[in-house]
């Protein structure tokens, strides 16, 4: 579930990255990448425990 949530966050971030009319689209993209990375970290963390 966490892996899928991370993938969705990356995909949503990619849409913001290619949508050039939104101000600060690159910063929003990076926030979604950070969220996706956090989701993947949680997935691996719970797998290891």
pTM (2 decimals)?
0.88
Q: What is the pLDDT of residue 24?
A: 95
- The SS3 call for residue 30 is helix
Tens digit of each residue's pLDDT (9 = 90 or more) over 2-44: 999 999 999 999 999 999 999 999 999 999 999 999 999 999 9
Residue 35: the pLDDT is 98
Burial category of 20 from C-beta neighbours within 10 Å (exposed 0-12, middle 13-18, buried 19 and up): exposed
Domains held by the chain: number: 1
Range of the domain at 32: 2-48
Distance CA 35, CA 8 (A): 10
pLDDT given at position 38? 98
């Amino acid at each position: 579930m966490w892996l899928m949530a991370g993938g969705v966050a990356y995909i949503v971030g990619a849409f913001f990255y290619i949508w050039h009319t939104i101000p600060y689209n690159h910063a929003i993209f990076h926030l979604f990448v950070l969220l996706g990375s956090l989701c993947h970290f949680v997935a691996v963390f719970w797998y290891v425990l």
